[in-house]
Structure 1
Amino acid sequence: MPMTQLKDTIGRIGIWTPVLRAEDPERRAQVTEAATELDRLGYGAIWLGGSPRVRETVPLLEATSRIVVATGILSIWNDEPADVAQAYRRVSAAFDDRLLLGLGVSHQILTERYEKPYSAMRAFLAALDEATPPVPKDRRVLAALGPRMLELARTESAGAHPYLVTAAHTARAREALGDQALLAPDLKVVLDEDDTRARETARAYLARYLALPNYTNNLKRLGFTDPDFENGGSDALLDEVFALGTPDAVRTKVATFHEAGADHVALNVVTRDDTEIPLPQWHTLAEALL
């Protein structure tokens, strides 16, 4: 698929969420109904968070007819590349190439196998190229943050899906990727007009990620310092990585990411209960942005 076609297919706005993983049979109906609704609302992609495997995209693809479903992201430490290629081939063929393979190196604290992540990603991508048939470069994206991984995303994939980033990082990523590659950052959203409460919700969510050096090191490259990572994040940090408040505030923040070079923004709705499916918020955002 040509890169311009992928950008057109995926659109300008998507949803990033781990709560649509349907491994729990008791939630399967609720999950598939939500996926159907995202498709109907006009979002361009569902980014399935939480290190999903390819098979976990199948219920969402079965429940939809148009929307792209992406792994956001599949950890390269969890499966052998030959198995990923086989799963990709089977699922993609069954659902009109609506599967997008998002790949990442995850975090050292989360896997005992973590070693030389850049070299490991290069080797994983090479193995996908050598599979029979290969996973096309234009159907895979990388969770790229730093310069080397962004360059790898530019040369060996369709582009980048960076997580926990700012508009300033988006501008740097666009420069590194060039004009053709897909750039689809995540943007966290708290829809709450009470600013104090919105920031409490944001900090409760963000604290877990500020314990991961991959993210804090990237944020330091953008000018943040250790005090910004304390107690769930400084106000300055929250203002950069979240859209807080009203739908209009979200629209404004999304525009800054698009203006910085994002082709597509994956909205990550954050609530006080991160196990709930935030369908009302997805409706509100669709009305504001689509």
Structure 2
Amino acid sequence: MPRDSRLGRFGVWSGAWSNASRGDGPAGTSEFDDAVAELDALGYGTLWLGGSPAVDYAVPVLEAAPRITVATGILSIWDYEATEVAARRAALERRYPGRFVLGLGVSHEGFTERYARPYSAMREYLDALDSAAEAVPAQARVLAALGPRMLELARDRAAGAHPYLVTVEHTAWAREILGEHALLAPELKVVLDPDLESARATARGYLRLYLKLPNYTNNLLRLGFEEDDFRDGGSDRLVNAVFALGDADAVAGRAADFLAAGADHLAIQVVTDDPFHDLPRDAWRRLAGALPLDG
């Protein structure tokens, strides 16, 4: 996967499809099919399925649109056995060649009793993908990488990295570790609301979930934030750093900062009052008018 890859310059990150596929909503129905077909037509390059999706969650999305790439953002290595993942990915590749990217991550300690030695576990998982009967090529997978060791692993054993909840500064630092050729595709949270006080309130409502997870807070501490920045849903400084807030033009300007820092692709997550289930189609349309999409 070259840096100007099938991911395109911009994608959409959403947990709605994964939650629907688990039974929380109408996965594969006309509402979801119409939404992904519109994302495809608007020119977004990739739909990232959030919330540790199974590989098969990509099937209705791939069926609903002729062009868009689908990526897992991310599949937890604790939830799915590597040999089964490899077989499922191979089946997708035969059916939809070049349109699926396997995003992998170690998730978080509180989410599984199996969590242990995450870096070593990821290496072992990649070894299993390499040795499977239908192996997953390194260029067909990306890693959810925040720290230096996982970023190096993403550089050496995958197409690159898909960092979540990061800043422009982290993007520049990650690019230095990844080098010139590896893919860097960070996620960026967006609140489309010109009232910045209201936008920060929406952002804090979502950010609180992540400030309970040491993988994220440790990375933010490494970037120079302090424990006080994590109180009450996040300080203004923190919210402003990990979100793009305001109207579509303001978001486009923030996105340009990430690209200038070394990102090849941005996975845009529109945050609403219920981002795990909403399909914010009007927001995706407004952003499509402001971002330099590929379509």
Structure 1, unaligned stretches of length 5 or more?
A: none
Matches within 5 A, 1:135-146: 135-146=136-147
The answer as to 2:12 corresponding to 1:15 is yes
**1:27 Cα deviation from its structure 2 partner:** 4.5
The answer as to 2:62 corresponding to 1:65 is no
**1:53 Cα deviation from its structure 2 partner:** 0.6
Matches within 5 A, 1:203-242: 203-242=204-243
Aligned partners of 2:287 and 2:26: how far apart in 1? 27
RMSD of aligned residue pairs (Cα, Å): 1.0
Q: Deviations over 1:5-38 (max 9, x none)?
A: x633211111000112342363432112111111
Q: Deviations over 1:227-246 (max 9, x none)?
A: 00111100000111000001
Q: Secondary structure at the match of 1:282?
A: helix
Aligned partners of 2:113 and 2:16: how far apart in 1? 25
Q: Secondary structure at the match of 1:207?
A: helix
**1:93 Cα deviation from its structure 2 partner:** 1.2
Aligned partners of 1:7 and 1:47: how far apart in 2? 17
Q: Which residue does 1:276 correspond to in 2?
A: 278
Q: Secondary structure at the match of 1:56?
A: helix
**1:97 Cα deviation from its structure 2 partner:** 2.1
**1:65 Cα deviation from its structure 2 partner:** 1.0
Matched residue type, 1:282? W
Aligned partners of 2:201 and 2:26: how far apart in 1? 31
Q: Secondary structure at the match of 2:13?
A: strand
Matched residue type, 2:179? G
Matches within 5 A, 1:100-179: 100-179=101-180
Aligned partners of 2:184 and 2:126: how far apart in 1? 19
Paired residues in the alignment total 287
**1:91 Cα deviation from its structure 2 partner:** 1.3
Contact map agreement 2:28 2:61 (CA 8 A) in 1:
no
**1:96 Cα deviation from its structure 2 partner:** 1.5
Matched residue type, 2:36? A
**1:272 Cα deviation from its structure 2 partner:** 1.5
Aligned partners of 2:168 and 2:209: how far apart in 1? 21
TM-score normalised by structure 1 residue count = 0.97
**1:220 Cα deviation from its structure 2 partner:** 0.5
The answer as to 2:25 corresponding to 1:28 is no
Matched residue type, 1:236? R
Q: Secondary structure at the match of 2:5?
A: helix
Aligned partners of 1:284 and 1:192: how far apart in 2? 12
Aligned partners of 1:32 and 1:148: how far apart in 2? 38
Aligned partners of 1:216 and 1:8: how far apart in 2? 31
Q: Deviations over 1:181-204 (max 9, x none)?
A: 110000000000111110100000
Aligned partners of 1:224 and 1:149: how far apart in 2? 21
Aligned partners of 1:203 and 1:286: how far apart in 2? 25
Aligned partners of 1:281 and 1:259: how far apart in 2? 24
Q: Secondary structure at the match of 1:71?
A: strand
Aligned partners of 2:270 and 2:255: how far apart in 1? 13
Contact map agreement 1:20 1:277 (CA 8 A) in 2:
no
**1:71 Cα deviation from its structure 2 partner:** 0.3
Contact map agreement 2:26 2:32 (CA 8 A) in 1:
no
Q: Deviations over 1:61-98 (max 9, x none)?
A: 11111111000000000011001101111112111120
Aligned partners of 2:26 and 2:284: how far apart in 1? 22
Aligned partners of 2:116 and 2:260: how far apart in 1? 36
Equivalent position to 1:285, from 281, 284, 287: 287
Aligned partners of 1:26 and 1:266: how far apart in 2? 23
Q: Secondary structure at the match of 2:116?
A: coil
Contact map agreement 1:20 1:35 (CA 8 A) in 2:
no
**1:280 Cα deviation from its structure 2 partner:** 0.5
Identical positions, percent = 57
Aligned partners of 1:121 and 1:167: how far apart in 2? 26
Q: Secondary structure at the match of 1:148?
A: helix
Matches within 5 A, 1:68-107: 68-107=69-108
Matched residue type, 1:115? A
